Structure 1
Amino acid sequence: MCSHYEAPENDRLLAGFGVAPETQMPLDLWPLKEGPFIRMRSEEDCDDQTSDLEVLTGQFGLLPFWAKDRKFGRHSYNCRSETGSIKPTFKSAWKKSQKCIIPVAAFYEPDWRSGKSIATRITRTDGGVLAIAGLWERWKGPTGQIVHSYTMLTINADSHPFMNVFHKPSDEKRSIVILPNGLIKDWLNSSVEQTMSFMQPYPPERLVVDNRV
C-alpha cells in the first residue's frame, strides 16, 4: 500500500496534463499532506479557451462527510478496489463516481527481501509521470472550511512480477492502480458501473527501481 510518494513539479504537470496549481506544492507527500489531483472540469466551467481537466489541491487521505477531523486521513490514503463500493469511508465517492488521477513522479514501497524494511523508490521506466487512479471527496470541517481530499485505488499484486516483491512476506501483495496515459480521460469520464474494468495491473516492464532514496 502506498503511503509515500513524490508529486511532479508544476512544469511537468503542465507539459503532461495542461494544468498545474498556481503555486508549487510540496513534492514529498505522506498522509495528511496536501498535494495536487486532477479531475474533469464541470461542463459549465468549460469553454474553448480552457482545458477539460482541472487541478485541485487536497489532502492525501480521503475524508468522508462524517469524519470528525482531518486526522481521519491517516487511515484512508489507499482504497481497496474490491471493497471500495461498500466500505463506509469510500462508498459515497465511489457511488458518485468522483474519480480523479493523482500525478506521481515516484512512489515508495518497502522491500523486505533482506529481512528488514528498505524504502524503495519506484518510477516509470521512461521517466514519465505516473497517473494513479483515485477517488476524491469534498469535506466540510467543524468551522465551515471546505477541504478536498483524495485516495489511491489499489489491487492485488500477488502475481505481479514487479510489485509482488514488496511488503512483508506474510502480507498480501498490493499495488496502486497505474493508468496508461491513453486511458486517463476514459477513467475520469467512466460510469460507476465501469469502474472495476480499469482496475488492471500495470505492465511490469514499465516500472523500475530508482535507488535515489
Structure 2
Amino acid sequence: MARAVGDLLAEFDAQLEEDLEVPPSWNVAPTDPVPIVLERLIDGGTVRQLHVARWGLVPSWAKDPRIGSSMINARSETVLEKPAFRKAIKSRRCAVPADGYYEWKQGTGKAKQPYYVHPGEGRGLVFAGLYEWWKGPSKAEGGPGRWMLSTSFLTTDTPPPGSESTVFGKLTELHDRVPLPMGKEAMEAWLDPEVDDAAALVDLVRSGVKDVAADWRVDSVGPAVGNVRNNGPELIQPVEALF
C-alpha cells in the first residue's frame, strides 16, 4: 500500500479526524499500521473518515493486544458466529485499501515462489474489513488508558463457481482462500453504519468477487519479499518464476 494520504482522501471522498501519516509499504506485515476507511454517525449525519489501524483485530474484551496477530483475517462464512468478530460485523465495518497482495507457491522442501496479485491498469484494491477499538490497561502496550484501533479483512474461498478458467484458476494453485474485494456499490453499502443486516452485506460482497477480480494479474516476484526487513518498490517487479 503505497498511496499518499491525499490520494486516499480524494479516492474515497473521506475526511481526516486528525492529522495522520500513512507510510508507504511494499511489504506489510501483521501488526503493521494500515489505512482504513470507515463511516461514523456524527451529529445526525454520516461522515466518511480515513484512519490508520493496526493490522490484526484486537477485540474490546481482549486482555492482551498480542491476540491481534492471530486475527489478521476473518472467514466470511463464519464471521457472524465468531466471538472476536460478531459485534464488529454488525456496526464496525471498514474498507481496507491496498495496491496488491502476496501469495506463495510451495516447491520442493523449503523452497517457495512468491507471487504479487494486483489489478490491471494501475488500479487499487479495496478489501472488506472490520475494525475495533481497544483500551489498554496501565501495563499494556500503548500505555495507560490509550485507545488502539485495529482491523482485519474478510476472506472467501476460491475459486467462485464457474470461474476456474479465470485468474482464480491460478489463485487456487496458490491458496484456497482469497481476500474479499469490493466494487464501489458494494463498498457504499458495506460502510453504511445504518445498515444492520450483516448477513445480507456479506452475501452482497461475496457475490461480486468474480467481477471485481476479473482483471487481476498474478506476477511471480523475487524471494526478497519473504523478509519483512526488505521494503521497496523493487519487491513487486516481475521476475521469472523459480519453478
What band does the TM-score fall into relative to the shorter chain?
A: 0.7 to 0.9
Alignment pair present for 1:80 and 2:83: no
Distance in 1, matches of 2:155 and 2:45, equals 31
Aligned pairs, how many? 197
Distance 1:9 1:162, change over 3 A: farther
CA contact (8 A) 1:179 1:202 kept: no
Distance in 1, matches of 2:15 and 2:70, equals 27
Letter in 2 for 1:104: A
CA contact (8 A) 1:37 1:101 kept: yes
Distance 1:90 1:184, change over 3 A: same
Alignment pair present for 1:110 and 2:104: yes
- Report the Cα offset of residue 81 of structure 1: 0.9
How do 1:57-76 residues align onto structure 2 when only pairs under 5 Å count? 57-76=52-71
Alignment pair present for 1:207 and 2:216: yes
Gaps in structure 1 of 5+ consecutive residues? 1-5, 168-172
Q: If you compute each CA radius of gyration, which structure gives the higher value, 1 or 2?
A: 2
- Report the Cα offset of residue 82 of structure 1: 1.0
CA contact (8 A) 1:19 1:53 kept: yes
- Report the Cα offset of residue 45 of structure 1: 7.1
Distance in 1, matches of 2:3 and 2:200, equals 28
Distance in 2, matches of 1:24 and 1:196, equals 30
**What whole-Å deviation, never above 9, does each CA across 1:76-112 have from its counterpart, x for those lacking one?**
0100011111112112212x33110001012111123
Q: Which residue of 1 aligns with 2:184?
A: 181
CA contact (8 A) 2:189 2:201 kept: no
CA contact (8 A) 1:64 1:89 kept: yes
CA contact (8 A) 2:32 2:55 kept: yes
Letter in 2 for 1:186: A
TM-score, structure 2 normalization: 0.73
Whichever structure has more strand as a proportion of its residues is 1
Letter in 2 for 1:93: A
TM-score, structure 1 normalization: 0.82
Distance 1:66 1:206, change over 3 A: same
- Report the Cα offset of residue 66 of structure 1: 1.9
SS at match of 1:125: coil
Q: Which residue of 1 aligns with 2:230?
A: none
Alignment pair present for 1:24 and 2:21: yes
Gaps in structure 2 of 5+ consecutive residues? 138-143, 222-233, 236-243
Letter in 2 for 1:24: E
Distance in 2, matches of 1:205 and 1:85, equals 27
Letter in 1 for 2:214: E
Distance in 1, matches of 2:59 and 2:2, equals 23
Distance in 2, matches of 1:40 and 1:120, equals 33
Distance 1:13 1:90, change over 3 A: same
Aligned residues: CA RMSD: 2.2
- Report the Cα offset of residue 65 of structure 1: 1.4
Alignment pair present for 1:134 and 2:143: no
Letter in 2 for 1:99: R
Distance in 2, matches of 1:125 and 1:20, equals 28
Distance 1:145 1:42, change over 3 A: same
SS at match of 1:27: coil
CA contact (8 A) 2:156 2:206 kept: yes
